[in-house]
Each structure stands twice: as structure tokens, then as C-alpha cells.
Amino acid sequence: MNKPTGFLEHSRQEPDKLEVSKRVKNYHEFVQKYNPKILNEQAARCMNCGVPFCHSGCPLGNVIPEFNEAVYNEEWQKAYQILIATNNFPEFTGRICPAPCEHACVLGINQPPVTIEEIEKHIIEVAFENNFVQPKFSTVKTGFKIAVVGSGPAGLAVADQLSSVGHVVTVFERHEQPGGLLRFGIPDFKLEKTVVERRIKLMEKAGVIFKCNTEVGMDYSIEQLIDDFDAIILAGGSTVPRNLNVEGRHLKGVHFAMDFLSQQNKRMSGVPIKDIPILATYKNVVVIGGGDTGSDCIGTSNRQGAKSVTQFELLPMPPKQRTATMPWPQYAPLLKTTSSHEEGVERIFSIQTKAFMGDVNQNLVGIQTVQIEWIKDEHGKMIPKEIPNTEKTYPCELALLAMGFLHPQYHGLLENLAIDRDLSGNVNAHPKTFKTNKEKFFCCGDMRRGQSLVVWAISEGRECALKVDEFLQGTSSLSSKDGY
């Protein structure tokens, strides 16, 4: 086991980050690696609990105490094997996962939890450095052909799993390069695209075929898809953004966050930008929405040289510590200060946008707001109430709407397929079998569960692959979270 007194001797230590003034000059990752001594100490903090709550906190069911122990003992090959038994892409989750496992860690009862996510990242990077990571060739060929629509983490996980058991898998992607939001959503400073490309190359070597610039349902017909493949998995993500229909929405300078972020990803990768460039340079930027996407807009705006960056959030400021309503080991929605927040932003909570204001040329020049409080209505539902005399106008030349995503795109594939949708507007596929109402069509990831996380997309991709394999072969050798 790990050092029995490790958690008493060592405190949690976050990895160093490049200082703000240096890192905002470029889009590179800036979180530094631990030195071997610190890594060993951090792994030593794991108590190897009899009931490891961390394990159940992870949507993938990562076998955390075992890989912590292997890291502590410097058994890197073993640590790598334990990690990839449940996670196809630890290099993604090790960088950008909000780490629900750490919220569930037993140490978290009265101490900061084990740095599980960082340890995961170190294992996979050591594995790459030592060439442990190899293409997953299959010795059997089943003769079945499978199409995956969408190359985000869900599509990549399903393809990786199904290819590893001998099926021929083709992944369709409408964008120029594969990766979904990992590629054209999440900024390079959180996840450098060489990390995504490294994985895609391995999958290609193993035989996965990627067909980019191909929108299924538009450039590739559904009839052809049904003729060409034995099973089809829809993994197209949740891509329709929530709008803010207030006065002045039409003004030049009001944009959806994803239009802004994907342009910067494309600039970094040398992919031509077909639309009018959206840039924060010399502008007062207001990001409307307090989540991950909003935070990514802040980091990108600061790197582009914004004059000021302000973030609006409709909800009140979350607590900094767990409260009685969020006991351990539940995920605690605490106030999150991301690395992008550290780089410079004014955060305003309980604020509502009333109108966008423009000049004679229809350019955005300001935003009218009001402060709100949250009260209960007669049914006990929390509703916003404006606080009198709190109206304010913020100067703003670029407003970025980062208020989440509603559901997948219907136009094209889903509309033509007449697929069943659930009450939220997502594809109605069974949460255990991933089957849709259409014969041989399955669905997983954000397209099924709604806007979520990379770790959930990988988890759904793995579980869906198992069901597709069983559908084709009657049985499957693929592992499942429940059966590991």
C-alpha cells in the first residue's frame, strides 16, 4: 500500500503555473509538471480507503487507489494499465476534467483531497514518454462496418472501443479536423491540440477511418449510411446555444461564445476562417454566463488584448465552502476560480441583462443591466426579482453569450431521420442500451444526455460501444463500468 502516514505528512500541492503576465502572451498550456519528489508525495497522500468514494465519484469508475499506489511505487507500466482499463483518453480528462472524484475523496472530509486529476495526467504523459501507448490493433476481424457520426470525446471513445475488438469503424466529422469540442471549442491553453492530434494518429494507425468535412444528412445521405454500415452511432453533441432575446440582440458585436472560441482554435491550427473575424482586441468585453464556456472566453479575450473583461452571472455567488445542502461526498457547486479568472476579470453575480445598446452604425457600445435577488414564488419555485434603483450601463463593444446549450442540431441528420427526442429535445436513446427508435441507430454523449462533460462523453462512448458490440456479435469482450 501507499505510505500509511502520507496524508499526515504531506499537504495537497497544486502544480505550479506559469505566471499570468507570461502565459497570457500566448495560447500554450501553462500548468507545469510536478517534480518526481512532489508527485511521489502527492500519491502518498492517498489512504487506499477500504471504501474508496473517489472511485464511485468518477463517471468512468477509474480505479484510483490502485493507480495512486502504483505511482507511489514508481510502477509506471502498472499505473498505465490500471488507468486505461477504464479510461480511453486520460490525457484529456487529466487536463480538463472538473474532477468529481476529488469532490468524493475521503480526505476531503477534513483536508484538501488527493490531487487525483494531476496524478492521472502524469501517468499518461509518462506512458507516452516511455512508448507504452501503442495503437490498439485487433487480431480478429469481425467483418462488421460501423459508422460514428461526430468525433468529439463520445464518438472517439466509441470508435476506439469498437475498433479494438475488430470492427471497421468510420468516424464522420463535419468540421475540418476531428475532436469535436476538444478541437474547436476548448481553448489551446487548456488543452493543446497536439494532444488531440497525438491520439487521433494512434487511432488511425489502429485502423479507424476519419472522414472530415462531411456532414452526415447533408453531404452523406442517410440512405447511403444505412446501406453502407451494420450499426450507426450518433455522437453529434449538443450544439444549439441558448440565446438572449433582449433589445439590441441584432447589433454588431453580440456573438455566441462558440463562434468566438472556435475562430481562435482555427487561427491556432491554420484553418481558414470563413466568417467575419470576432476579436476582443482593444475592446471592453462582457461575457454573459458564468460556466466553463464563459471562463474560456475570458482567457481568450485576455490573450487577444481586450481593454477590459467583465463576466455576468444571473445566479448569486456560490459559497466558498460546503454547506449543509451539499454534504461530502456529493459534488459541491462551490465558487470556482479558474485559471482564466486569475488572468483578469471583474465577476458580477445576480445581474440581468436588460438591453444591448448600439450607435448609429448598429455597433454595440454598451449593455444595460439591473441587479436581481432570487425569491420563492407562490409554488416555492425560485424566481429572479429586480432590485429597484440598481440599473447600470456597462461600456461594451463585444458581448459573448455563454449561457449553455439547449439540444442537438435538428436540421439535416436528425430531422431527416425523424428520430425520437426526449422532453429536453435531446435524442431519445435508452440510458443503458443507447438504442434509438430507429433500427441499428444508437446515440451517446451530449447528443443523448444534453450538455455535459468530457468524462461523461467518454463514459457514454465506452458503454455504448459494449451495447453495439453485443448487438452485432451477440456477446462482447469489452469491459463496462459496472462489470470492471
Ligand X SMILES: Cc1cc2nc3c(=O)[nH]c(=O)nc-3n(C[C@H](O)[C@H](O)[C@H](O)COP(=O)(O)OP(=O)(O)OC[C@H]3O[C@@H](n4cnc5c(N)ncnc54)[C@H](O)[C@@H]3O)c2cc1C
Binding region for ligand SF4 (CB under 6 A): 46-49, 52-54, 64-65, 68, 105-107, 114, 116
Is the distance from CB of 355 to CB of 384 less than 8 angstroms?
Answer: no
Alpha helices in 270-347 (DSSP H): 292-304, 339-342
Q: How big is the CA angle at 85 (ends 83 and 87), to the nearest 5 degrees?
A: 65
| Closer to ligand SF4 by Cβ: residue 116 or 148 | 116
From ligand SF4, ligand X, none, interface partner of 65 (C-beta below 5 to 8 A by class): ligand SF4
Q: Which of 321, 320, 319, 318 is nearest to 109 (CA)?
A: 321
Least CB distance to ligand SF4 at residue 99 (A)? 11
| Closer to ligand SF4 by Cβ: residue 49 or 314 | 49
Question: DSSP string of 113-167?
Answer: PP-HHHHHHHHHHHHHHTT-------S-----EEEEE--SHHHHHHHHHHHHTT-
From ligand SF4, ligand X, none, interface partner of 356 (C-beta below 5 to 8 A by class): none
From ligand X, ligand SF4, none, interface partner of 454 (C-beta below 5 to 8 A by class): ligand X
Least CB distance to ligand X at residue 292 (A)? 4
From ligand SF4, ligand X, none, interface partner of 60 (C-beta below 5 to 8 A by class): none
Write a three-state SS string for 209-256.
Answer: EEECCCCECCCECHHHHHHHCCEEEECCCCCEECCCCCECCCCECEEE
| Closer to ligand SF4 by Cβ: residue 49 or 244 | 49
| Closer to ligand SF4 by Cβ: residue 27 or 80 | 80
Distance CA 25, CA 448 (A): 38
| Closer to ligand SF4 by Cβ: residue 65 or 150 | 65
Distance CA 472, CA 145 (A): 10
Least CB distance to ligand X at residue 264 (A)? 11
From ligand SF4, ligand X, none, interface partner of 116 (C-beta below 5 to 8 A by class): ligand SF4
CA distances from 46 to 7, 39, 60, 64, 391 (A): 7, 12, 19, 9, 50
Residues 6+ apart with CB under 8 A from 38: 13
| Closer to ligand X by Cβ: residue 2 or 459 | 459
Q: How many other C-beta atoms are found inside a 10 Å radius of the C-beta of residue 374?
A: 12
Least CB distance to ligand X at residue 405 (A)? 7
Least CB distance to ligand SF4 at residue 182 (A)? 26
Distance CA 184, CA 151 (A): 11
Q: How big is the CA angle at 479 (ends 477 and 480), to the nearest 5 degrees?
A: 135
From ligand X, ligand SF4, none, interface partner of 259 (C-beta below 5 to 8 A by class): none
| Closer to ligand SF4 by Cβ: residue 46 or 231 | 46
Residues in contact with ligand X by CB under 6 A are 96-97, 149-155, 172-175, 180-181, 185-186, 215-217, 235-237, 258, 261, 292-293, 296, 412-413, 445-447, 452-455, 457
Least CB distance to ligand X at residue 150 (A)? 3
From ligand X, ligand SF4, none, interface partner of 105 (C-beta below 5 to 8 A by class): ligand SF4
From ligand SF4, ligand X, none, interface partner of 195 (C-beta below 5 to 8 A by class): none
Distance CA 47, CA 67 (A): 12
